[in-house]
Amino acid sequence: QWAALSVIHNAKSQESSGQVNSAVGPLTDMPATSTPKKQKANEHILSSHTTRILEGRVEGCGYHRDGTRVEVQCDVCRSNLPDGSFMFCVWIKRSSQQGALLQTDLLLQNQSGNSSGKRIDEAGVGEVLRSTVDLEHSRACDGQFEEEYQPIRAVGKGAFGFVWKAIRRCNEQEVIVKFISKARIVSDCWVDDPMLGRVSQEIAILTRVQHHNIVKVLEVFENGSYFQMVMEKHGDGLDLFEFIDMQPRLDEPLTSYIFRQIVAAVFYLRCKNIIHRDIKDENIIIDKCFHIRLIDFGSAAILVPGKLFYHFCGTLEYCSPEVLQGNPYKGPELEMWSLGVLLYTLLFSENPFCDVGEILDAKL
């Protein structure tokens, strides 16, 4: 997921160029998009009045506005505009190295419930990392949650934590548990809930919604380092991306049935003044009867009259042109665009746009 997006330059394409040295890599190793799509070569040198800018990736460290130091990747991309001008865009996201650490944690716990005796043999990962992984796991499961539930296997990971399948000890009911790291919750995402106390906004939102097309929260635990949000398991856990990747032969009535459920969930949220902000195929779970549920409310927010959003928290392929251009947005218009992209993806099994330029042109 893209953590932020900003327009950094806008100039006429006929301007001359100078040169500046930069450690930038090619874009060919960019993360895979959420749905298979056509590939286009898009590597070339960009120019401005005084510098020569290369498309590509830069890795380094930055500080969040709450003071947290994070490793980031910056991807630079040129987009030609219809009036003949062009702009340079930068997408900033967490470094893949941080994601690799979390993935290592999950793999270790899949292999053994007690990883203290295991050794990680991957290059560049030693005893210090192993100790950190063990500590992370113990903090995640500590408390009342561990008394009532038994984690089974890793399901996925995200910006704020990771997701496991677990069983309730008293009746062996299968559930899905999202472990949310308190240290990774930025200041803007903390809320004081009258029933739950101080929790993440995702927890506050999901515990107050009840809709058959939205993931259902059963209960929430916490310890000093984590929230443990227990959710009802839906079907086999197949998401819409995996479903589409199987290339099913969907006729129009079935596609319409699936899409109507998604719209019903979004409409319900709108009536509650809630915006999801990351509607995409990977955030929709589908069962064998084609019933769907919207999941992952990590980017969700409350709509306030007159309030604008200045940061894009979703996925590039589902971002609307006006938000890509760096304009503030109210929220509903972004979700309407995302729904359109999702419908196209359902019908044709690929994203409608290949790159930023095609999104800005908005031509199918």
Active site (catalytic) residues: 278
Closest CA to 299 of 322, 327, 318: 318
* Tokens standing for residue 331: 């929220």
Q: How many CB atoms lie within 10 A of CB 117?
A: 6
Q: Is 272 annotated as a binding residue?
A: no
Return the closest-CA partner of residue 10 out of 354, 326, 331, 353.
326
Smallest CA-to-CA distance from 46 within 72, 78, 4 is with 78
According to DSSP, residue 51 is labeled: -
**Torsion 295-300-302-304 (CA) sign:** negative
Which long-range contacts (C-beta less than 8 Å, at least 24 apart) are formed by 221-225? 221/143, 221/144, 221/145, 221/148, 222/143, 223/139, 223/142, 223/143, 223/145, 224/139, 224/142, 224/182, 225/139, 225/140, 225/142, 225/181, 225/182, 225/183
Phi then psi for 179, rounded to 5 degrees? -90, 115
> Got the DSSP string for 217-284?
EEEEEE-SSEEEEEEE--TT--BHHHHHHT-----HHHHHHHHHHHHHHHHHHHHTTEE-S--SGGGE
Which of 13, 35, 6 has its CA nearest to residue 324?
Answer: 6
Residue 3: how many other CB atoms lie within 10 Å: 17
The three-state DSSP-derived secondary structure of 181-193 is: EHHHCCHHHEEEE
Q: How far is CA 216 from the centre of its chain?
A: 19
Neighbours of 63 (CB within 10 A): 10
Known binding positions = 178
Binding residues for ATP, as ranges, are 178
